[in-house]
Structures are given as structure tokens and as C-alpha cells.
Amino acid sequence: MTSSTTTRSAWERTTQRQRALRTLTSSVEKDPATLQDAVRRARTQTFGSLETLLLEAHAQWVRTFDARLDTLMENGAYGDQEAVDALWTQTATALPGTARVLDAYADHPELVRAHAQHVRRTRRSMATELPSRWTPPTTVRRGSEQCGWRRRAMSLLPH
């Protein structure tokens, strides 16, 4: 087998996993109630194990967050917890389906380990802490058109 065959095969697997992750997170973003079924489907069709799926989702989160964190570091935000918290929320806004999947499995040992490594790396590089959950707490504002009955119901569900 030539190296170009091996590389192409690895590229195809990576592409397939990225597409499957996008399908999963889009499905969860559109309808959070489908989370368990969507994870099961993605795991059996593409990822093979829950651990592999969770680590792929976490890697996507870390790449997105850290790319934005680099900008904060370049702008001298060392030790700025408020800026890091805002960045975490921005990442959750950019990757809402991923955040829901990660929160749903936050206690899984592989995800706990991966998140702990991210926390340590951020603490060393920025002297700040990271939240233990990926989705920001939902606040319900009474009387707001944006917070209808569905949003209130969703905020009461465990993430």
C-alpha cells in the first residue's frame, strides 16, 4: 500500500467523521429531544464507540475555543476571566449542538479527562478557569417575546 493510499484513506475517515459530527450536532441543535437517538445513530454508523464520538466533539470545541483564545492572548487578556467567560459563551453560541452533546455526557470519564486537560492548559496559558459545562446557564426573562413557552420549558430541562 502506498503512502498516498494511506493518507487518502485517513483523509476520507476524517471527512466522514466531520460530516457525521455536523449531522449529529445540527440535529441536536434543531431538536434537543433527539439527542440520545442522534448520538446512538452517529456512534453506530460512523464513530464505533461513544468515547470516540465524544472526543471528536470535544476536539471540535477545543479547536474553535482555542482559535479565539489566541486572539485574546495576542491582545493582552492574560488573567482576564471575564473575557474568557465571554469567549466560552461565544463558542457555545457558535456550536450549540456540540455544547448540548458535551453537556449531556459531561460525566463520561473520557470527556472528564479531556476537559481537565483543556482546563489545565488554559490555566497555564491564560491564568483563568474554564466552566465545567459547555452550555451557558439559561436565564428566563419574563415578558420577553424571545422567551416564549418553549424556551421556558427548555430552560427547565436538565442539560
Which residue in 19, 15, 35, 18 sits closest to 27, CA to CA? 35
pTM of the model: 0.79
DSSP code string of 37-87? HHHHHHIIIIISSHHHHHHHHHHHHHHHHHHHHHHHHHTT-TT-HHHHHHH
Confidence of residue 107 (pLDDT cuts 50, 70, 90): very high
User: Which tens digit of pLDDT belongs to each residue from 38-70?
Assistant: 999 999 999 999 999 999 999 999 999 999 999
